[in-house]
């Protein structure tokens, strides 16, 4: 429950690694498998003009994409609670050579078109004292566990296009969002105006495999050099590529994400009426935030449930995360503990 990063490797993914270990191949992504992983992504996203660069870290994908899309003097809009703003130790400021991240508020971890418009309007285009608005980075699903609808994304991209800005999607949990909405990957991204996507898979069952994806010519040709000089060009790339192929094959990615989402939904339905736990945001993917009363939190902890908690004044908020390998039995156990407490007066 602590993090979907704690889960191991999906059996199908591990098998793909084993299968690939049958001889030599060109290093640094010049192998056939890496070319095939790009083709597989082009097909999954119904986009021929798609460029994919395999990586092994989501922060690498985010920060290298942002560095590619924003000039060094750019203003990059993002949600104040987003991973790119708060949980990457300044990676995006660093990789971009000093771009300014502009944190926006927004309900349920999401930004609306009008909030974005207002933020952009603060800046004066052409005024050298101002960082120049360059792009928006949203997470899908968000750091709050909520999910943008394609329409909401389209609203944002409409504002952005008006100002000639780019749209990046941090898809560390992209599969969970697609599984939730039930639309196609294309509808969730480039058809809604997304220019580049951090396509994550590590939190959803791979050992370590992420792809920085550019749609429709948004890479200016600099990415291969940015990847290398930041130390992210892997020599034995083919083993990352093998994971990406296996991840998309037979819809493993959606299968895993759907399961994780279901486990979250199961837990939520099981405890939502409790007085001792109060959910902070709509539950829409595999990540939930909740205020859990101290007594209950201790009981859960005693029973082996671990999760991040953050105190803000008197209120402590906990993050609950399910994964591809979370069992229904574990959810039942959690629910049982909550219900047991609920029957007793505090």
Backbone angles phi, psi at 274, to 5 degrees: -70, 145
Q: Which of 16, 33, 37, 100 binds its own copies (CB under 8 A)?
A: 100
Examine residue 59 and tell whether it contacts its own copies (CB under 8 A): yes
Q: Which of 190, 239, 247, 324 binds its own copies (CB under 8 A)?
A: 239
Could you say which DSSP state residue 280 is in? Answer: S
Residues 290, 165: Cα–Cα separation, whole Å: 35
Residues 69, 135: Cα–Cα separation, whole Å: 7
> Quick one: 158 exposed, middle or buried, by C-beta within 10 A (0-12, 13-18, 19+)?
middle
User: Given the complex with its own copies, which of 18 and 340 has the nearer CB atom?
Assistant: 18
User: Given the complex with its own copies, which of 103 and 282 has the nearer CB atom?
Assistant: 103
229's tokens: 């000089």
Q: Which of 57, 176, 256, 261 binds its own copies (CB under 8 A)?
A: 57
Name residues contacting its own copies, limited to 172-211 (CB under 8 A): 202-203, 207-208
Given a contact cutoff of 8 angstroms between Cβ atoms, the answer to whether 218 and 195 are in contact is yes
Examine residue 63 and tell whether it contacts its own copies (CB under 8 A): yes
Size of the site for its own copies (CB under 8 A): 74
Given a contact cutoff of 8 angstroms between Cβ atoms, the answer to whether 3 and 321 are in contact is yes
Task: Dump the DSSP string for 110-144.
Answer: ---HHHHHHHHHHSPTT-TTSPEEEEEEEESS-TT
Name residues contacting its own copies, limited to 313-332 (CB under 8 A): 325
Residues 312, 44: Cα–Cα separation, whole Å: 42
Q: Which of 230, 280, 316, 317 binds its own copies (CB under 8 A)?
A: 230
Closest contact distance (angstroms) between CB of 29 and its own copies is 9
User: Given the complex with its own copies, which of 7 and 258 has the nearer CB atom?
Assistant: 7
> Quick one: 215 exposed, middle or buried, by C-beta within 10 A (0-12, 13-18, 19+)?
buried
Examine residue 346 and tell whether it contacts its own copies (CB under 8 A): no
Given a contact cutoff of 8 angstroms between Cβ atoms, the answer to whether 142 and 180 are in contact is no
Closest contact distance (angstroms) between CB of 233 and its own copies is 6
Q: Which of 50, 153, 233, 287 binds its own copies (CB under 8 A)?
A: 233
User: Given the complex with its own copies, which of 26 and 336 has the nearer CB atom?
Assistant: 26
Q: Which stretch binds its own copies (CB under 8 A): 1-9, 145-153, 173-181, 292-300?
A: 1-9
Name residues contacting its own copies, limited to 9-48 (CB under 8 A): 9, 14, 17-18, 20-28
Name residues contacting its own copies, limited to 69-88 (CB under 8 A): 71-75, 86-88
Closest contact distance (angstroms) between CB of 190 and its own copies is 24
Closest contact distance (angstroms) between CB of 336 and its own copies is 21
- The set of residues, in sequence order, having a beta carbon less than 8 Å from that of 239 and lying 6+ positions away, is 17, 20, 21
Q: Which stretch binds its own copies (CB under 8 A): 53-61, 108-116, 179-187, 264-272?
A: 53-61
Name residues contacting its own copies, limited to 256-295 (CB under 8 A): none
Q: Coil, strand or helix: which one is 324?
A: coil
Which strands sit side by side in the sheet containing 210-215, from one edge to the other?
50-55, 210-215, 196-200, 166-171, 132-139, 74-79, 100-104
Q: Residues 137-176: x/- map of binding to its own copies (CB under 8 A)?
A: ----------------------------------------
User: Given the complex with its own copies, which of 95 and 140 has the nearer CB atom?
Assistant: 95
Distance of CA 299 to the CA centre of its chain: 31
Name residues contacting its own copies, limited to 121-140 (CB under 8 A): 128-132
């Amino acid at each position: 429950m602590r993090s979907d990063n704690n889960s191991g490797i999906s059996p199908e993914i591990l098998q793909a690694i084993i299968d690939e270990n049958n001889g030599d191949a060109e290093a640094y992504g010049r192998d056939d498998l890496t070319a095939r992983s790009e083709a597989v992504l082009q097909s999954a996203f119904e986009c021929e003009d798609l460029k994919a660069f395999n990586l092994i870290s989501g922060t690498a994908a985010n920060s290298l994409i942002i560095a590619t899309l924003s000039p060094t003097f750019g203003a990059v809009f993002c949600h104040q609670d987003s991973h790119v703003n708060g949980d990457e130790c300044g990676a995006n400021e660093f990789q971009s050579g000093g771009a300014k991240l502009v944190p926006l508020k927004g309900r349920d971890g999401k930004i609306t078109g009008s909030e974005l418009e207002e933020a952009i309007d603060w800046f004066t285009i052409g005024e050298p004292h101002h960082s120049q608005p360059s792009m928006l980075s949203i997470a899908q699903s968000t750091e709050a566990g909520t999910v943008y609808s394609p329409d909401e994304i389209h609203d944002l991209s409409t504002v952005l296009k008006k100002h000639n800005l780019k749209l990046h999607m941090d898809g560390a949990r992209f599969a969970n969002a697609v599984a939730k909405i039930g639309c196609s990957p294309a509808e969730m991204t480039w058809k809604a105006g997304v220019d580049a996507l951090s396509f994550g898979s590590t939190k959803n069952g791979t050992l370590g495999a992420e792809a920085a994806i550019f749609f429709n010519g948004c890479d200016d040709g600099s990415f291969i050099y940015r990847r290398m000089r930041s130390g992210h060009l892997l020599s034995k790339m083919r083993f990352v590529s093998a994971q990406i192929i296996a991840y998309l094959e037979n819809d493993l990615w959606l299968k895993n994400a759907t399961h994780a989402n279901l486990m979250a939904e199961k837990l939520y339905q099981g405890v939502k009426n409790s007085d001792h736990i109060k959910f902070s945001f709509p539950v829409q993917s595999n990540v939930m935030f909740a205020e859990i009363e101290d007594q209950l939190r201790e009981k859960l902890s005693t029973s082996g449930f671990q999760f991040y908690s953050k105190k803000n004044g008197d209120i402590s908020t906990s993050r609950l995360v399910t994964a591809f390998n979370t069992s229904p039995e574990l959810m039942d156990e959690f629910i049982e503990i909550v219900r047991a407490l609920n029957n007793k007066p505090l």
